[in-house]
Amino acid sequence: MENHSKVRFENSYNSLPETFFKRVKPEKMPNVGLFLVNQKLSEKLNLDYSWLIKRDGIQFLSGQNLIKDSKPIALAYAGHQFGSFVPQLGDGRAILLGEVKDKKGNLKDIHLKGSGKTPFSRSGDGRATLGPVLREYIISEYMNSINIPTTRSLAAITTGEKVIREKILPGAILVRTASSHIRVGTFQYFAARQMTKEIKILSDYIIKRNFQSSLSSKNIYESFLMEIIKSQADLISKWMSVGFIHGVMNTDNTCLSGETIDYGPCAFMDAFDYNKVFSSIDYQGRYSYKNQPNVMLWNLTRFAETLLPLLDKNIDKSIKKAEEMLGEFATLYESSWISNMGRKLGIDTPKITDKNLIEEFLNLMQSNELDFNNSFYYLSFLVGNDKNEIETSSNNQKILSTIQSSDWYIKWKTRLNINKKNSQKILKILLINNPSIVPRNHIVEKVLNDAINENKKDTLNDFLNALNEPYKIRIFDDPYTKPPLPNEEVNQTFCGT
């Protein structure tokens, strides 16, 4: 066990009863190497970047050499997967190395995915492959760049192993960070076993770690539930505002810290479609774009059920309290959604009455199969951006002509009341709320293929750098902003990590 003075691990989750986890060490890998490391994130976590990229740092990141005070564990949890309850899932191929304090003094988990078998592995091999690891790295870091709460990627490590999936693939480990890895499914694990004492211990732990404002409330657990409902309503509204489809919103993939977690079959829409699904196994469309708010409410209901013994000694009163709080989800979500979507239309202070205008624009995109991201971003060209660009661009004219010839366009201009005095203000609102770039599926796949199979890491780094500037003004013909041609479309994604 190595002692590195720049890494100070804490083990607060490890101090909970051993029913919460299993003690396990990462498996030894034949030849670990550093594929990517996130310098900016390492600095925020008070980690020595110059050390991380050296051999000892790589051995630490991969779990091959454990730092002093690291007490690695695999977390126990259950979960509803596509609506069916599985009483024990747990970290089957993931290990929590420990927690570090970031520059703001907040605890952050250092978590490995693909580090080998654990007691929760069932029939799995405990491994991950490089493609899905890099995919999660790309998309989670993009989500952070557009201010959507998310787990983050600290590093992608190659293991020197060959992993068998449909074919033989290079093995990898994702080094992930989060405010915590406690999920709805963590609470379900204990509720399924009627372990009320453990539910209280878990609640007290996460309240102290992530929801300290609830400690001053008259009913701490009521406040806690309400804070969870609020944060999840806000998170989903943000997903919806950028056309993001998570793809596998199981209760074990609902992180109670309010962060997006587990980037498996996720993707961003190209042509807008309310019913869009990317997951290769979501045959019924349970986790389609339009269903995400309803699924989150369903997940929150499962969470509230686990808290009933803590809300009130009288079970009927507990149920009533939970139902009242869950009943606020729709209003909280709609308010946040209108606020986010209204600003994407250039409206400074969106109102409830703007809901119709927002929905009409989405319907316009749906009926004309317009690109989601570009339709919003191109509104800036109709308010005061470079008019010459509109006239000379050979691509994406369909979006502009469809919008400008619609009845919606007249209503939108009337709502904004565009004139010389306020057009620059509207333009500013549009540009700071509409990214010019998203990690489009077909580009992600090409970048991954180039990086893994053609050894073109520069292509990957260029893409990551572009995604790190999501609000940069980009021309119509920027290759990163172009929707896929029919032969380039990638309509299915898989649970790879």
Give catalytic residue positions.
Answer: 252
- β-strand pairing of 168-178 with 244-245: unpaired
Residue 287 makes CB contacts below 8 A (sequence gap 6+) with 245, 246, 247, 248, 249, 277, 279, 295
387 to 246, 404, 410: CA distances (angstroms): 36, 14, 19
Beta bridge partners of 245: 267
Q: Which amino acid is at 344?
A: K
Number of neighbouring beta carbons within 10 Å of residue 475: 12
Is residue 241 within 8 Å of residue 248, measured between CB atoms? no
**Can you tell me the distance from the alpha carbon of 250 to that of 235, in angstroms, rounded to the nearest whole number?**
15
The one-letter code for the residue type at 421 is K
Rounded Cα gap, residues 471 and 436, in angstroms: 6
Strand, helix or coil at 373? Answer: helix
Neighbour-count burial of 84, counting CB atoms closer than 10 A to its CB (0-12 exposed, 13-18 middle, 19+ buried): exposed
What lies within 8 Å, CB to CB, of 284 at 6+ separation is none
CA–CA distance, 402 with 406 (Å, rounded to integer): 6
Q: Tell me the C-alpha to C-alpha distance, in Å, between residue 326 and each of 97, 162, 294.
A: 35, 47, 12
Nearest one of 16, 14, 10, 73 to 203, comparing CA atoms: 16
One-letter amino acid of 89: L
Measure the CA–CA gap between 393 and 475, rounded to whole angstroms.
9
Would you state the torsion angle of the CA atoms of residues 222, 225, 228, 233, taken in this order, to the nearest 10 degrees?
-100
- Contacting residues for 27 by C-beta, under 8 A, at least 6 apart: 115, 116, 117, 126
Q: Dmax of the chain from CA atoms?
A: 69
Query: What length is written for the chain?
Result: 497
Cα angle vertex 295, ends 484, 328, to 5°?
Answer: 125
Radius of gyration of the chain (CA): 23
